[in-house]
Amino acid sequence: MGLATYLDKVRRYYPFTFLEIRNIMITIILIGFMYGFNDGRPKFETIPYFYNMLVSMGVAAITVLVFVSGQRFAGISAGYRVEFQMWWPGMVVALIITFIARGWIWIPIAGGMLLHHMSGHRLGFFRYGLNMLDNGIIASCGPLACVVYATIVKQIAVWTNLASLPIINKMYWFALVFAVVNMLPIPPLAGSKLMYNSRAPYVFIFAFILAYAVMAYFNLFSWILALILAFVLWVLYYIRYEQ
């Protein structure tokens, strides 16, 4: 598929429906609220609190859009239209946990997705029908897009000497935590789409995301090392469980 053909598909199938826009906006507001609920100050101050809440919602908005765009672009390339689905029960539980923990614990869950088979654009593909492995790989492209986005933010900040700004750290760490949480094998999160269809790719992708996030916590930013660790864990998993 040529670039012009792909861009034409993006133009036609990337735009969100009204229901998706509503659900994405609600998701952003709720996740941003949970993220900004505790501003870390010893006592409540109106202006700083609402400024932090506004920044948190902005950070959440960018990350959620990166997440759903990663899935959408991957789906279009494989001949599927991706529909975002909000996970109301999970969001309610996450809000309750945030209130109980007074904002010290926040769980940024994006929700699920639904693939629509575009028969005319799937002609010539191996396994022409709705492929459950494709479903899992496309879903995992959301968390992977968040890792790429976080890395780009961090690298640009280093190049421009802005890495010490609080907003950069908020954007970076929120995206990584968001990627890790949404790769957990809990239906209907992205990780469950891959875990319950093909465990081996799930182990490798989740290990890569988790390894990169853990290393970043210790100020070691390396995709190469994360990929090596992911490969080692994948080999150990394969020897232990798949052989």
**Residue 240 resides in a domain:** no
119: exposed, middle or buried (Cβ count in 10 Å: 0-12, 13-18, 19+) = exposed
**Residue 60 resides in a domain:** yes
Residue identified by tokens 């968390």 is 143
**Residue 123 resides in a domain:** yes
Residue 126 confidence (pLDDT) above 80? no
Encoded tokens for 215 = 């290393």
**Residue 191 resides in a domain:** no
Q: What is the band of 122 on the pLDDT scale with cuts at 50, 70, 90?
A: low
**Residue 120 resides in a domain:** yes
**Residue 173 resides in a domain:** no
Tens digits of per-residue pLDDT, 81-100?
A: 999 999 999 999 999 999 99
**Residue 69 resides in a domain:** yes
Reduced 3-state DSSP string for 44-108: CCHHHHHHHHHHHHHHHHHHHHHHHHHHHHHHHHCCEEEEEECCHHHHHHHHHHHHHCCCCCCCC
In order, the DSSP letters of 120-141 are GGSTT-SS-S--HHHHHHHHHH
Residue 121 confidence (pLDDT) above 90? no
Tens digits of per-residue pLDDT, 167-181?
A: 999 999 999 999 999
**For residue 115, how many other CB atoms are within 10 A of its CB?**
21
Domain ranges, residue 47: 3-145
Q: What is the band of 150 on the pLDDT scale with cuts at 50, 70, 90?
A: very high
> CA-CA distances (angstroms) from residue 116 to 40, 49, 93, 174, 221?
43, 42, 29, 30, 37
Residue 166's pLDDT is 87
Tell me phi and psi for residue 136, to 5 degrees: -70, -45
Percent of the chain with pLDDT over 70: 95
Q: Quick one: which H or E segment has residue 41?
A: none
**Residue 133 resides in a domain:** yes
Q: Across all residues in the chain, what is the average pLDDT?
A: 91
Number of domains composing the chain? 1
Model confidence, pTM: 0.93
Residue 164's pLDDT is 79
